Structure 1
Amino acid sequence: MMNYVSVFNKINKTLEWFMIIIFGLLVIDVLFQVFSRYILGTSFTWTEEFARFALIWMTIIGAAYLNAKREHLSMDFLYQKFSEENQRKLSILIEVFIFLFALIVMVIGGLNLVYTTLHLEQLSGTLRIPLGYVYAVMPFSGFMIMCFSVYHISNIYSNKIL
């Protein structure tokens, strides 16, 4: 099990650094847009589109990262009222639902979206990059969430976490 823990931690660290890089590029992009607009007197249209795509990627990868850390938004008032054994069962059920959502909506739906946009050769308005590459973050993040859910279920089942 220790091997899975080290792989899990390395994946989390990689996602964390990837989000830091995206955020850094987003900050540089916005600062460049402000500088070019107010100092140079000209506006570059690609900066707005890049900022939008960076924010999409950071948000969706952030969802997988928070799922890995089990820090996603939840309302646990009713959950806290259950016995420890029922909390364990409910935690497994929740992880199964998260797994199924990630599989159906993010992976299957995301792959369909990526395939469709690549097949139709849709390009972004300003950067002229295939939109399928932008949307590829959806199935990637969904796959990561599925892996994290399996990891959490195994830990809950072995009484390591609730």
Structure 2
Amino acid sequence: MEESISKSEKAYHSNPVIRILSWIDRWIIEVFEKFILSFGLLALSAIVFGVVIARYFLGFSPDWSDELPRFMVVWITFIGMSYCVRQGSHVKIDLFLNKMHGKVKKYINVTILSICFLFFVYLTYLGYNLTMAVFAANQMSVSLDISLGYVYMAIPIGCFLTAKNFLHLLIKNILSKEVIADLSERGIK
């Protein structure tokens, strides 16, 4: 760690609860995000390639060839949203933020992170209610014959992970002397 670490940052690092939560974040949640994204993209590519080859050469297309890739894209999108926040590569308009300096820049960044966190907490709530309504209605996919609730489940899970990553960034920015854009950046891990 750098010598410029403040007392609050040192207290953060020495707190056993924070250390456990950081370990869980790095070795369970981040691994889950990477697995879903890498396996999902690889499987999606293989399925779409296989279906195109089957259609072209065999004149055959499985019934599930439209639904499964679509459902996979939904999961990849919502988990990818969380991973983008982790990496600091989510869409943001920082034209004005880059022109500011010092405490004003830090306060605005903390405010933006707070709003994003609250927004994704609310989306998690809405997504959970929507998913439970779909499960309760027993809506099934046409060709795969699975509950659409499993597809909709990507919404609350992805929004919850995104909210968690925004909260983590918020805490890092509050305790750090600088503005931190991603969870792997200098400062508090």
Provide the TM-score with structure 1 as the length reference. 0.92
- Structure 1: which 5+ runs fail to align? none
Please give the alpha-carbon distance, in whole angstroms, between the structure 1 residues aligned to 2:80 and 2:69. 16
Q: Report if aligned partners of 1:155, 1:161 keep a CA contact under 8 Å in 2.
A: no
The answer to which structure, 1 or 2, has the higher relative contact order (CA under 8 A, 6+ apart) is 2
Does 1:52 pair with 2:73?
Answer: no
Mark the structure with the bigger radius of gyration.
2
Superposed CA RMSD? 1.5
**Matched residue, 1:109:** 126
Contiguous gaps of at least 5 residues in structure 2: 1-11, 14-18, 180-189
For residues 21-78 of structure 1, the C-alpha deviation after alignment (integer angstroms, 9 at most, x for no partner) is 0111101110121121112221112011101011111111100100112211111111
Identity of matched residues, %: 25
For 1:151 and 1:99, how far apart are their aligned partners in 2? 9
Report whether the alignment pairs 1:86 with 2:104: yes
* Residue 35 of structure 1: aligned partner: 53
Three-state SS of the structure 1 residue aligned to 2:58 is: coil
Give the equivalent residue in structure 2 for 1:97.
115
In 2, the alpha carbon distance for the partners of 1:133 and 1:127 equals: 12
- Residue number in structure 2 paired with 1:156: 173
Match status 1:130 vs 2:167 = no
Indicate the SS of the match to 1:78: helix
* Structure 1 runs (4+) greater than 4 angstroms displaced: none
Q: What's the offset of the Cα at 1:7?
A: 3.0
State the aligned residue count: 161
Which residue type is aligned with residue 90 of structure 1?
I
Match of 2:61, SS? coil
